Chain A
Amino acid sequence: MNKRKITVAVTGLNNIDSPGPGIPVIRGLKESESLDVRIIGLSYETLEPGIYMHDLVDKVYQLPLPTAGSAVLKERLRYIVSQEKIDVLIPNFDAELHNFIKIQDELKVELNIATFLPSQTIFDERQKSELGKFGEKYGVKVPESHMINQVLEIRKLEETLDYPMVIKGRYYDAYIASTYEQASTYFYKVVAKWGYPVIVQEFVTGTEVNVTAIGDGEGTCIGAVPMRKLYITDKGKAWSGISLEDDELMEISRRVIENSKWRGGCELEFIKTKDDEYYLLEMNPRFPAWVYLANGCGQNHPEALVKMALGEEVQPFTDYQSGKMFIRYSYDQIVDISEFQQISTMGER
């Protein structure tokens, strides 16, 4: 079959021990049976390993850090498309998504770059601090959680929540507290780092199971593959995992994607309790770093996303193989300093 040539720009080339999703996404795209994909890597730092992976990444440009704002980002992309056309852009970092979502329409109209991102509204709805409302609205169980501004409110919550309870920052960090003393210590720790409010959450025990999924934005779940981590690094990242067969988990995941009309890739993190109940802990608004497992199970999510971004209709995947494993490994690339020099001084290679 004659493959169609397109160019896709991808961020998240930090394929380190807590990897970004960029390289796994690129591998999925490179294995597409209908698309011949040229990859433009977009990097933030000069040592992102993907910059130097010539067999996967055809050309690299540095992007301004998300803190520089969306106007500067757009200017940089304007320069890049003056060099070569970008058909589709897939952002893979949490921190950059806000800016990309904000300018997604302008990218399409002004620079002819297609993206496939959720709307700001749905993106905001699944923020950690809003999880309770999100669960209620889209029909999925979530751990009971409360937002508090004063440490004494923990005392009040003791009436409904048992220890241990989870003390979480608005954006990151979570601590498990077994006593009021611990809880109040974590409260102040979280406040110092992330400010108010602090999230106090019910501690749900069980097995963690994750789902990588993709929605078409119209209420159809195009694909979903569940996975359980088999081995984690000291940073809690999956080092190895296995695809599961779990109809109920699939059903719940599809429901979340369908009801929220999620557009694009995402990762759903669940806890499965001893009583076989599923609690949604978090919804990450982008592909997970283990998204290549979906490809290995028969669902090429990155390829589906690119096709939808280009306006093509994509049929939902109906099947995947369970019992497929991924096992990560690290690999030392040998790079001449001239390449590092190139990206450092010119901002592209």
Chain B
Amino acid sequence: MKPTYESPIITKLNAGMMNKFGSRTEYTPVKSIDNVAVADLMDEYGSPLFVISEKTIRQTYQKALKAFKMRYPKVQFAWSYKTNYLDAVCQVFHQEGSWAEVVSGFEYQKALRNGVPGNLIIFNGPDKSAEDLKMAVENRSLIHIDHFDELYMLIEIMEEMENTKARVAIRVNMDTGVYPQWDRFGFNYDNGQAWNAIVKIIAQEKLQLEGLHCHIGTYMLTANAYAVAARKMCELALSYANTTGERVKYLDMGGGFCSSNTLKGSYLQGADIIPTFDDYAKAITSTILQFGFRPDELPLLILETGRALIDEAGYLLGTVLATKRLADGRRATVLDTGVNIMFTSFWYNHRISPAQDFSQHAEETALFGPLCMNIDSLRESVILPIMKKGDRIVVHEVGAYNMTQWMQFITLRPNIVMIDTKGDVHLIRKQETVNTIVDCEVVPEHLAKHNL
């Protein structure tokens, strides 16, 4: 038999630039996901292809839930729709017991369609129309008020609604010692704005303050910031109790937990520096438990973490379209997975594995997507085994935001499949066709024809 062929390479050994250990590479091929062969998936569903592991979602969810339940008696997760609102994904979370957390009328409709009872939908965000608010009030959903204009709009709406109360909370922002401070959402704690909003709500017959909500940032590398936030939330809850004699029912600590993706510019690997679910849980629950609530009056703890629950369950499979030399001699590899479907590559250095065997040799390469646009660059420099046209790759941890923030730009969006816990594969979103796009378009009559 002839030896396996690999493209010839020559690498200059630069002092001080030595790669890894000699020329060995750190990568191992990823040939299957949950025991389903990557090659089979791509043969059947095409390339690129998103793959979601139901097993990983459920395991991750259970791990997060356990971290909190071990430490605190009343815990409730609410699935952050914007992180991934594919119906199949949402249903996995709802089966696990998650409520829905939505930030637009569109997401709200989606949650209702998924059969989530209205009173288990949390409605966040700065953009809620009058119609949205009416619908939320009627469905007894939890409305998390973001600003005074929304508060006044809700008060007006309630004047016209008979025999009903709106269940509300306010979103609170605060200094937790981390930068940047997310002060654009909600009412500020430190300057008293949040308390003013609460006072305004107390004065309203038809508004019932049920809870307090905060969401201190995203990809939070320090668990301690949540302890600071939890303490300020408890202070507010206490002030409310002292003023009204009533208790808020819940504290919603939002999300912002890290996945193990590595941020661009980070020296260390994400997996090595991120806090665990246990770290976050410890910071939040010990603060609330030690604050001094009576055991039977402990508020329900709600969490809206999205990224940390779904990122790892998502994979993107792709194909090498071409390899070429750049003017400076560097290798460039063109993949069919571009920034159009991998929005998170703007801020992460995603881990990318070849899906087939390779030799110990590796070469530095730039990774580009397929778009005819200069922005479509996935990695400026990464050391990968030598790959050729037609080789397949697996991009890891793309479950969060990519399937919601993706762009229909230049090309169409691909299939998404889910591998269930038994290893069966289900198509959960069909690849778009030209009709998906042009069906929404209308051409005025005078532009219908030309004489080319």
Which A residues lie at the B interface, using CB under 8 A?
44-47, 61-72, 75-76, 95, 98-99, 102, 149, 196-197, 343-348
Contact = CB atoms under 8 A, between A and B. Distances in A.
A340 to B, nearest CB: 8
B20 A65 contact: yes
B18 interface: yes
A98 B21 CA distance: 20
Contact of B272 (A69, A343, A346): A69
B269 A67 contact: yes
A61 B18 CA distance: 13
B24 interface: yes
B268 A62 contact: no
- 4 closest Cβ contacts across the A-B interface? A347-B22, A69-B269, A347-B21, A62-B21
B268 A99 contact: yes
Given A45-B18, A344-B13, A345-B23, A197 B268 contact: no
Interface of B: 13, 15-18, 20-24, 26, 179-180, 267-269, 271-273
A47 B272 contact: no
27 contacts: A44-B18, A45-B16, A45-B17, A45-B18, A46-B13, A47-B16, A61-B21, A62-B18, A62-B22, A64-B20, A65-B20, A66-B267, A67-B267, A68-B20, A68-B26, A69-B268, A69-B271, A70-B269, A75-B26, A98-B268, A196-B179, A344-B13, A344-B18, A345-B22, A345-B23, A347-B24, A348-B21
B23 A46 contact: no
Contacts of B15: 45-47
A14 B24 CA distance: 22
Contacts of A67: 267-269
Contact of B267 (A71, A76, A95, A197): A95
A240 to B, nearest CB: 27
Given A45-B15, A98-B273, A62 B179 contact: no
Nearest to A66: B268
Contacts of A344: 13, 18, 22
B31 to A, nearest CB: 19
Given A45-B16, A47-B15, A344-B13, A64 B268 contact: no
B194 to A, nearest CB: 21
Given A47-B15, A196-B179, A62 B269 contact: no
B18 A99 contact: no
Kindly name the residue among A46, A47, A71, A102 whose own CB sees the greatest number of chain B CB atoms within 10 A: A46
Contacts of A63: 21
Nearest to A72: B26
B267 A64 contact: no
Given A46-B13, A99-B268, A197 B179 contact: yes
A98 B24 CA distance: 24
Contacts of A66: 267-268
